[in-house]
């Protein structure tokens, strides 16, 4: 019993010290196809220690049997197949055995999902990547340069794609949700984009863009923007009953007319500059306006104000 225990302990220690002191029940082959320390070792309950090589195929066998390419049996060998064989067996095309093959464009594109990583298809990377939007946004297509129409048509999904950054402005203005997103922050929009959509016009991306009067009159909100400060807005638009127009720089010429629409405005500090420009007609249409601060200069005799 003591002898068996001693033997077991010695055996365990020999395993930990593998492969130097292991005692085999059979002999190592005289010309092993792989280094013994890379083999799979195991202990049989009755037969002691044994070994089995990872690779049971020779190089010649791997070369002669393409179906074994890419398997554990042939991964350790360095060999390649002609391009014709790689094309006839598409499964092989992305593997190491076909790494040096130069594939034709139609083969690469028709098998884009499998060939996008193939070295022999990198010349046609863009053509493969645009075959499918999910492929375009995958890691293998990260360095592909996409055409503008493809980027714009898929703007929401490609806004972060490196291959579309050259057309970032076009992508940002292709969709309102993108225009207001952090991905488009700091992107300067052209005047054509700013004046094509009121939602774009109010964004910081359009600051500094001068709007034409025709666009400024589309809404009071637009007219109040600094973009319309130099626009000459028509009187009927400025004097429309919306008291916010007092802030519109393009309506400064009609300040007196705007201020006379409301007693609150007529007595406000904003309307003081209009005391000289307001007409007597405007001041005498209403007693309240006539008596207001706005008409201090134009109606000296307040007794002449309407009753």
What is the domain partition of the chain in residue ranges?
Answer: 2-52
More confident residue, 33 or 9: 33
Confidence band for 307, pLDDT divided at 50, 70 and 90: confident
What letter would DSSP give residue 24? B
Q: What distance in Å separates the CA atoms of residue 202 and residue 189, rounded to the nearest whole number?
A: 11
Q: Which helix or strand (DSSP H or E) is residue 52 part of?
A: strand 48-52
DSSP secondary structure string for all residues of 227-271: GGTT----HHHHSSS-GGGGG-GGGGGGHHHHHTT-HHHHTSGGG
Confidence band for 236, pLDDT divided at 50, 70 and 90: very high
- As a whole number, mean pLDDT of residues 56-82 equals 89
Is residue 12 scored above 50 in pLDDT? no
Is residue 164 scored above 70 in pLDDT? yes
With H, G, I as helix, E, B as strand and everything else as coil, classify residue 17. Answer: coil
Confidence band for 31, pLDDT divided at 50, 70 and 90: confident
Angle at 118 between CA 89 and CA 33, to 5 degrees: 70
So what's the pLDDT on residue 225? 96
Is residue 42 scored above 60 in pLDDT? no
Report the half-sphere exposure of 218 (CA within 13 A, side-chain side): 16
Q: Which pTM was predicted?
A: 0.63
So what's the pLDDT on residue 8? 40
CB under 8 A, 24+ apart: contacts of 202-205: 203/179, 205/172, 205/179
pLDDT tens-digit readout, 181-213 = 999 999 999 999 999 999 999 999 999 999 999
Q: What distance in Å separates the CA atoms of residue 260 and residue 239, rounded to the nearest whole number?
A: 10
Pairing of strands 48-52, 40-44: antiparallel
Confidence band for 45, pLDDT divided at 50, 70 and 90: low
């Amino acid at each position: 019993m003591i002898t068996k225990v001693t033997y077991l302990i010695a055996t365990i220690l020999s395993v930990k010290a593998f492969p130097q002191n292991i005692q085999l029940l059979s002999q190592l082959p005289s010309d092993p196809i792989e280094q013994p320390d890379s083999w799979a070792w195991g202990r049989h309950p009755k037969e002691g220690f044994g070994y089995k090589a990872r690779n049971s195929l020779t190089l010649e066998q791997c070369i002669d049997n393409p179906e074994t390419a890419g398997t554990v049996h042939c991964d350790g060998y360095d060999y390649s197949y002609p391009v014709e064989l790689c094309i006839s067996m598409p499964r092989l095309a992305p593997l190491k055995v076909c790494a040096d093959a130069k594939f034709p464009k139609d083969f690469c594109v028709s098998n884009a999902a499998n060939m996008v990583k193939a070295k022999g298809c990198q010349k046609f990377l863009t053509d493969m990547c645009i075959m499918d939007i999910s492929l375009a946004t995958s890691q293998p297509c990260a360095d592909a340069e996409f055409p503008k129409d493809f980027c714009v048509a898929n703007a929401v999904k490609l806004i972060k794609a490196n291959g579309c950054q050259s057309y970032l402005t076009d992508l940002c203005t292709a969709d309102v949700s993108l225009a207001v997103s952090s991905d488009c922050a700091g992107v300067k929009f052209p005047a054509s984009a700013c004046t094509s959509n009121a939602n774009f016009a109010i964004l910081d991306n359009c600051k500094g863009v001068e709007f034409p009067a025709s666009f400024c009159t589309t809404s009071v909100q637009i007219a109040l923007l600094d973009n319309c400060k130099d626009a000459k807005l028509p009187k009927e638009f400025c004097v429309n009953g919306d008291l916010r127009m007092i802030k519109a720089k393009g309506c400064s010429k009609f300040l007196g007319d705007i201020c006379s629409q409301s007693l609150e405005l007529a007595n406000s500090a904003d309307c003081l500059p209009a005391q000289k420009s307001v007409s007597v007609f405007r001041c005498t249409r209403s007693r309240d306006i006539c008596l207001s601060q706005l008409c201090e200069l134009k109606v000296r005799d307040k007794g002449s104000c309407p009753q």
